[in-house]
């Protein structure tokens, strides 16, 4: 049977050292995974369990591009994050098995309509309008896990117009990468194509038209995003 209209292709992310790209199927995001960021958001962090929200794969945006300042917000924020790329099916896995399912890592930006997220949070409503924003899931090229040391002392940082706004280390992550993959695998049949944004350090803030966001994690390809005029 033919389709009534063209079906979009899965967005892809390049992989270092590969001519083939990584197709993005799902984007999971961990909330409050750095204690200092949780504190700046006015919440206490516990180790009870990580929690998640999602972005549509179609929100994927390539590094180095310009996105329009999105509609419906007056407080559009950057969040610099370590991204996990799943490379093998993993379901109800322990941390050891979960670690083996990690294909690679990338720098990511979880761009957020903060005003809408906080308004939803205050009313105990879902975060979708704040988080599942068009062009808001920005990814740099994936580095294969074998080419990256286990997440630990690497610095994670973000600048706006060259000025440092976020600076932390990956060992500041409350939930470690294999713990996140293991935990999430008890709720989903994780598959190749699933990306997990692992949360952002302290220092989140607003950007405006004309701002250039750059970020990096030691050992991974850096990321860049420019904020254009509103549509
Ligand atoms: Mn985030």
Contact 83, 105 (CB under 8 A): yes
**Residue 68 pLDDT more than 80?**
yes
pLDDT category at 96 given cuts 50, 70, 90 is very high
In the prediction, which pLDDT does 45 show? 72
pLDDT category at 21 given cuts 50, 70, 90 is very high
User: How far does residue 92's CA lie from ligand 1's centre (Å)?
Assistant: 24
User: How far does residue 197's CA lie from ligand 1's centre (Å)?
Assistant: 7
Chain segment 165-220, per-residue pLDDT in tens? 999 999 999 999 999 999 999 999 999 999 999 999 999 999 999 999 999 999 99
DSSP-derived secondary structure for 141-172:
PBEEGGGSPPSSS-EEEEEETTEEEEEEEGGG
In the prediction, which pLDDT does 35 show? 87
Q: Is the model more confident about 30 or about 32?
A: 30
Task: State which residues form the domain around 89.
Answer: 12-230
Q: Is the model more confident about 47 or about 163?
A: 163
**Residue 43 pLDDT more than 90?**
no
Residue 4 domain-assigned (yes or no) = no
Provide φ and ψ at 117, rounded to 5°: -65, -45
Q: What does the block give as tokens for 9?
A: 């292709």
User: How far does residue 53's CA lie from ligand 1's centre (Å)?
Assistant: 9
DSSP-derived secondary structure for 36-93:
HHHHHTT----SS---EEEE-GGGEEETTEEEEPPTT-S-EEE-EEEEEEE-S-B-S-
CATH code, domain with 100: 3.90.850.10
Measured distance CA(164)–CA(215) in Å, rounded = 9
User: How far does residue 2's CA lie from ligand 1's centre (Å)?
Assistant: 38
Residue 192 domain-assigned (yes or no) = yes
User: How far does residue 111's CA lie from ligand 1's centre (Å)?
Assistant: 8
Closest C-alpha to 182, from 62, 37, 46, 49 = 49
Residue 1 domain-assigned (yes or no) = no
Residue 5 domain-assigned (yes or no) = no
In the prediction, which pLDDT does 115 show? 98
Residue 108 domain-assigned (yes or no) = yes
Q: What does the block give as tokens for 190?
A: 């994780």
Q: What does the block give as tokens for 95?
A: 């941390």
Helical (H) or strand (E) element with 112: strand 112-113
Residue 3 domain-assigned (yes or no) = no
User: How far does residue 82's CA lie from ligand 1's centre (Å)?
Assistant: 10
In the prediction, which pLDDT does 23 show? 98
**Residue 48 pLDDT more than 80?**
no
Total domains, the chain:
1
What is the number of other CB atoms lying within 10 angstroms of the CB of residue 23? 14
Chain segment 121-174, per-residue pLDDT in tens? 999 999 999 999 999 999 999 999 999 999 999 999 999 999 999 999 999 999
């Amino acid at each position: 049977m033919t389709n009534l209209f063209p079906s979009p292709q899965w967005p892809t992310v390049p992989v270092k050292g590969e001519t083939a790209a990584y197709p993005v199927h799902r984007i999971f995001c961990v909330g409050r995974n750095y204690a200092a960021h949780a504190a700046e958001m006015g919440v206490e962090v516990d180790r009870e369990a990580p929690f998640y929200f999602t972005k549509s794969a179609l929100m994927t945006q390539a590094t180095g591009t310009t996105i329009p300042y999105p509609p419906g917000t007056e407080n559009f924020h950057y969040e610099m994050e370590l991204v996990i790329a799943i490379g093998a099916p993993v379901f109800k896995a322990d941390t050891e098995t979960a670690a083996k399912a990690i294909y690679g890592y990338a720098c990511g930006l979880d761009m957020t309509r903060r005003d809408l997220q906080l308004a939803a949070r205050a009313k105990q409503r879902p975060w979708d309008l704040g988080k599942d924003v068009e062009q808001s899931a920005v990814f740099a090229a994936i580095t294969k896990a074998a080419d990256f040391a286990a997440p630990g002392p690497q610095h994670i940082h973000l600048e706006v117009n060259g000025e440092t706004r976020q600076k932390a280390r990956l060992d500041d992550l409350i939930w470690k990468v294999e713990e996140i993959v293991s935990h999430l695998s008890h709720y989903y049949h994780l598959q190749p194509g699933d990306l997990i944004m692992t949360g952002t350090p302290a220092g989140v803030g607003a950007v405006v038209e004309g701002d250039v966001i750059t970020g990096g994690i030691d050992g991974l390809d850096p990321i860049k995003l420019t904020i254009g005029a509103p549509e």
